[in-house]
């Protein structure tokens, strides 16, 4: 896991000081509109909590219509809030979530023309309390 110095850690980087990595908060949305949606979300939430250790809270499921494309299959969505044990580079978090998506649901999220399609699992980062912003796709 990549741990990047922040705040006082960055100020004193290279000096003989010991700092405990800061906790950080991550908000995610997990959605599914194919197959056993609730089972997929339960598996995905468990995989996220295992891959990114910390204290996690999970919202009640909410059903919603697909966004950005037409489909007769509604999504079930859950929100997750994680207080990660160790401050982690947001790009590492993004890569970790993409790996979980590919492992649990390897089917693409877009068709050949680039349009959104139905999917068994979609994990989106809503926010990361990191001072270095990243551009999310």
Task: Write out pLDDT tens, residues 75-95.
Answer: 999 999 999 988 888 899 999
User: Minimal CA–CA distance to 80: which of 68, 98, 62?
Assistant: 62
Residue 20 has pLDDT above 80, yes or no: no
The whole-number average pLDDT for the span 121-137 is 76
Q: Is residue 26 very low, low, confident or very high in pLDDT (cuts 50, 70, 90)?
A: very high
Query: How confident is the model over 31-58, as pLDDT tens digits?
Result: 999 999 999 999 999 999 999 999 999 9
DSSP state of 10: H
C-alpha span between 23 and 18 (Å, rounded): 16
Q: List, in order, residues 6 or more apart from 49 with CB less than 8 Å away.
A: 56, 82
């Amino acid at each position: 896991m990549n741990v990047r110095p922040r705040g006082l850690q960055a100020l004193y980087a290279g000096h003989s000081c010991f700092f405990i990595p800061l906790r950080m908060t991550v908000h995610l949305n997990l959605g599914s509109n194919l197959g056993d949606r609730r089972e997929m979300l339960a598996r995905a939430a468990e995989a996220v909590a295992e891959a990114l250790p910390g204290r996690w809270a999970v919202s009640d499921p909410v059903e919603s219509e697909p966004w950005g494309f037409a489909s007769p299959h509604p999504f079930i969505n859950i929100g997750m809030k994680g207080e990660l044990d160790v401050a982690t580079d947001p790009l590492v978090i993004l890569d970790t979530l993409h790996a979980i998506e590919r492992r649990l649901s390897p089917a693409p999220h877009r068709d050949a023309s680039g349009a959104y399609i139905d999917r068994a699992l979609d994990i989106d980062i809503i926010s990361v309390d990191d001072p270095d912003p990243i551009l999310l796709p």
